[in-house]
Amino acid sequence: MSDAPQLLGDTALTVFRLNGQLLGLAEELTRPVGLTAARWQVLGAVLRTPLTVAGIGRAVGLTRQSVQRTADLLVAQGLAEYVDNPAHRRAKLFRPTREGYEAVRRIAPGQAAAAIRLAGAVGHEDLARAVATLRRLGDALDRLEDER
């Protein structure tokens, strides 16, 4: 058992490390199709429905500036495009092109293989519970931020 500051520190170190490891895995999975982890994340946010750049930022927890940069790169690659937004003259809607959908689709088998391996090692139930707890922690951090 540990006190609260120690536990928070352990949590941070574990999350930082896992962040790097998951990014590494994502880079491996996406490299063969010409994507990167960041581009996959941005493209993944608009698979179902187009969003504005700022909206993607809110959806994935990044600043609109960094999403903007990634989105522009995806357009330059031909994997996504901006379309006119009837609700806002400047804020166009961002969505994948056919090539973009295809690239994401080709990542799925490798992702599934890795997921099955990892779920087998950790346990589906335990991992789902851990994610739920982390979401609560994230929500608490948001509130901590707001009060400031």
Residues that bind a copy of itself (CB under 8 A): 1-5, 7-26, 28, 41, 44, 60-62, 108, 111-112, 114-119, 121-124, 126-131, 133-145, 148
Q: Is 36 in the site for DNA (CB under 7 A)?
A: yes
Q: Which is nearer to a copy of itself, 33 or 114 (CB)?
A: 114
Q: Is 25 in the site for DNA (CB under 7 A)?
A: no
Q: Which does 53 bind (CB under 5 to 8 A by kind): a copy of itself, DNA, none?
A: DNA
Rounded Cα–Cα distance for residues 83 and 71 (Å): 13
Q: Is 59 in the site for DNA (CB under 7 A)?
A: no
Q: Is 32 in the site for DNA (CB under 7 A)?
A: no
Rounded Cα–Cα distance for residues 75 and 69 (Å): 10
Q: Is 24 in the site for DNA (CB under 7 A)?
A: yes
Q: Which does 68 bind (CB under 5 to 8 A by kind): DNA, a copy of itself, none?
A: DNA
Size of the site for DNA (CB under 7 A): 29
